[in-house]
């Protein structure tokens, strides 16, 4: 599969934007003392899935795009489970 300069630039931009949004999210969460394992793993999976999804869109690879979408949503669910666990801890 040949990469054109336009695809390379688009792929690079997608990866950079995904990493920037992840770092912005991390800065936003600085006021919380820590994240539990589910929150961390969910956030990582969500970011990986977003990168895969964007890469699939740029490369017009529907299976990679679907795989990224699934991974992103699984990460969101896992992060939500971690958030619920933290809420339960705070209430006790």
| Per-residue pLDDT at 83 | 93
Total domains, the chain: 1
| Per-residue pLDDT at 25 | 61
Which of the two residues, 66 and 25, has the higher pLDDT score?
66
pLDDT tens for each residue of 7-57: 777 777 777 777 666 665 655 555 556 889 999 999 999 999 999 999 999
Q: Could you tell me the residue range of the domain that residue 87 belongs to?
A: 5-91
Measured CA distances, 56 to 18, 23, 37, 51 (Å): 14, 22, 28, 9
Q: Would the pTM of this model clear 0.75, i.e. be above it?
A: no
Q: Please report the sign of the dihedral spanned by the C-alpha atoms of residue 25, residue 28, residue 30, residue 34.
A: negative
Q: Give the pLDDT mean for 48-75.
A: 93
| Per-residue pLDDT at 27 | 56
């Amino acid at each position: 599969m040949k990469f054109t300069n336009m695809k390379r630039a688009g792929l690079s931009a997608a990866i950079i934007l995904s990493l920037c949004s992840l770092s912005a999210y991390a800065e936003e969460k600085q006021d919380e003392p820590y994240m539990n394992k589910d929150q961390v793993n969910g956030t990582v999976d969500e970011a990986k899935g977003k990168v895969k999804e964007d890469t699939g869109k740029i490369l017009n690879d529907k299976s990679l795009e679907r795989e990224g979408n699934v991974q992103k949503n699984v990460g969101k669910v896992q992060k939500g489970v971690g958030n619920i666990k933290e809420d339960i801890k705070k209430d006790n």
